[in-house]
Structures are given as structure tokens and as C-alpha cells.
Amino acid sequence: MKVTLSVIKADVGGLVGHHVVPVELEEVAWGVLEEHKDELLFDFDVTHVGDDLVLIMTHDRGEDNEEVHRVAWDVFKEAAELAKEMGLYGAGQDLLKEAFSGNVRGMGPGVAEMSFEERPSEPVIVFAADKTEAGAWNLPLFRIFADPFNTAGLIIDPHLHNGFRFEVWDLIEHKKVFMNTPEEMYDLLALIGSPGRFAVKRVFPKPGHVIDENEPVAVASTERLYEEAGRYVGKDDPVMVVRAQHGLPAVGEVMEPFAFPHLVAGWMRGSHWGPLMPVSVKDAKPTRFDGPPRVIALGYQIKNGMLIGPEDMFDDPSFDRAREIANAVADYMRRHGPFEPHRVSFHDLEYTTMPKVLEKLRDRFEPL
């Protein structure tokens, strides 16, 4: 059967500051989604990473479906109302429009959706990150689907041996390009090594794979909040879905890149580079300097459209070392204080409140 997995997220208010989604807001989400179970949704789950509320929904309406998006919007609106009543910080932060108009894209929330023919066993991992941007998934997606030092199956499983096809979005020029690995690996890296500009949107199998070449095997949200809002309101805090096993990277190969807490842009005021720390949901509460940035991973088996799970994939001592390294790197980066490369580049600060600070200095500059 054909199933659509829609992961839609928004920050609608934090307790305290930009720290965490309080349980009351998750209860709102459960209540609203429960009303739509069986009739619109096959199944759903609700989670959070830091101050971002994440809705995980299965249905058969396809991507960008108006009804599914409207339900997500209703959840966020209702949760934002409660956030306002509770005086939570940044209540309604990511809801940039008043009225819903057919699709949540461009309205603030982040969206990762894919439709596929459900396999007899369909393992998927839903990732969600706080205090960072969409391009944060570039490094792990490359390693999962294109790096044989990460994914043993690229060498020893004939189904993976042909490689994969990456759909890369230029987030500034609003263009996309498809690139095949391993053939175009170096060209691909030339682009996605600049995660502030290029982001992997989807990964596909190549022709001849057991999965249809038009069915994504991974999808990421690429919404850029400052661009949609025209000002800094918070970070994108992206989500991603990766299918695993049977001709695809194994679950452990999907998890492996996160053993290295790579540097991502975001953290305090969306303006600092820091390590992406893999954590269980219970530890998805960025505190130190509003971080360091966090990633959670929930594993499900999808069966007849139902979500069996979740398994909290980073709730595993084998990621303790990554967390230790992330803490050491956080110490090291923090000691730079307001200096680059801890603080993001001058160019990137144009999207924050920095221009207002510099405005008052403008007239004081004299020619050299």
C-alpha cells in the first residue's frame, strides 16, 4: 500500500525561554490529531526537540495535502494560543501568517514529507534538531548514502553498490540540481560543504534498485525561517526522515554519522557555530548558551500505515562519547566569545539583529 509520512514542526513557545516544549503543548497536539485519526490520518505521534513541537503523521493523501497541512496548522495555532495564555517565551514564534492558505509551506513550520509503497518491513528514522539550520543534515546524509567509511553496505551489499541520487537545493537562488554518487561525489561535496547555501532535500535510489527510482528514501525540511519572516525570529530547527534496511543503509548505518558531533550554525541567537549533540528526547533540552544544538532520533516500523514505536535511538550509551566530545567542543568554541568562527560570519549576521546595532555607527565612519 502507498503511504505518506508527513513530519511537520514548529516552535510555538518555550518553557523557559527557548528551552523546551512543555507537556501541555504536546497534549494539545495529541488532542487535535486524535480527532483526525482513522478519517484523515492512519496514525500519528508527537514529540519535541528543545522548543520545537514535532508532528509525525501517516496517511494516504500524498505530499502537500491541504487537509493534512491544515490539521498541522490547527495544532500549532491552538498550541500557540495556550502558549500565550501560559506566557511561554516566543509564543507563536514560527507562525508567520494569520490565516491558513492551503499549505503550511512558507508560513513558518518546517516540513519533511515522502510517499512510498510500504515494504513488508519498513523501518524509518525521524530526526529533529534544535538550534540549527536545514543544511545541518548535509554531512550525515552524505555519510549515510555516499560514504563507504560510514556505510559498509555501499561496498558489500549489491543493492547499495550502485549508489544513490541526491536532490540538492540552492537556498539562495531557489534552484535544485540532481547529482549521482559515487560518480559525482566531489561535485556534490563542492556544493553541500556550504550548508548555509546548499541543502540536501531528498535522496533517491538509482534505476534498477528494488525501490522505485522516483520514491525518496530520505527527505529533509529546508525551510529558512528568516527568509520567510524577513527578519530573525528563531532558527529553522529542521527535521528529516530516513528509510532503512533491505537495499538501503541499515539502521546502524543511518545512526553512525551522529557519533561525530559536527559543527553546525545556530546555537545562541541563531548566530554561533557549535557541535550537534545527539541526545535522547529526555535530554533534548538545550540549556548552556541556549545549546549546544541538539538532535533526536525516533525509530518506527511502519506497518499498514501504522507507526510501531517509537524507539528513542540516541538513548544508547554508545553515543555517550559523542556527547562528551560535543561538550569538549562546546567549551572550546565558547572560549572564542564574540569572535568568529564561533560567531557566524559577518555576512550571516545580516539576517539577525546585528544590522540594527551597526546602523548607529554608520555616520561615524570616515574615509581612510
Residue type, 276: L
Does position 22 interact with ligand 13P (CB under 6 A)? The reply is: no
Measured from the CB atom, the residue of 90 and 182 that comes closer to ligand 13P is 90
User: Is 9 marked active-site?
Assistant: no
Mapped to the 3 state alphabet, what secondary structure does 99-160 carry?
CCCCCCCCCCCEEEEEEEECCCCEEEEEEEEECECHHHHHHHHHHHHHCCCCCCHHHHCCCC
Does position 52 interact with Mg ion (CB under 5 A)? The reply is: yes
* Catalytic annotation, pick one of 51, 94, 130, 232: 232
> What residues from 264 to 293 belong to the interface with ligand 13P (CB under 6 A)?
268-270, 290
Could you say which of ligand 13P, Mg ion, none residue 269 binds, taking C-beta under 5 to 8 angstroms by partner kind? ligand 13P
Site string for ligand 13P, 208-237 (x = CB under 6 A): --------------------------xx-x
Residue 205, classed as helix, strand or coil, is strand
Helix 66-86 to helix 23-36 angle (10° resolution) is: 150
d(CA 329, CA 249): 29
User: Is 37 marked active-site?
Assistant: no
User: Is 282 marked active-site?
Assistant: no
d(CA 127, CA 116): 18
- Is the backbone of residue 106 left (phi > 0), alpha (psi -120 to 50) or beta? left
Measured from the CB atom, the residue of 11 and 43 that comes closer to ligand 13P is 11
Read off φ and ψ for residue 235, nearest 5 degrees: -90, 165
To ligand 13P, the closest distance from the beta carbon of 361 in angstroms equals 20
Site string for Mg ion, 115-154 (x = CB under 5 A): ---------------x------------------------
Contact footprint for ligand 13P (CB under 6 A): 11, 18, 50-51, 90, 93, 130-131, 234-235, 237, 268-270, 290
- For the annotated catalytic residues, the residue numbers are 11, 232, 235
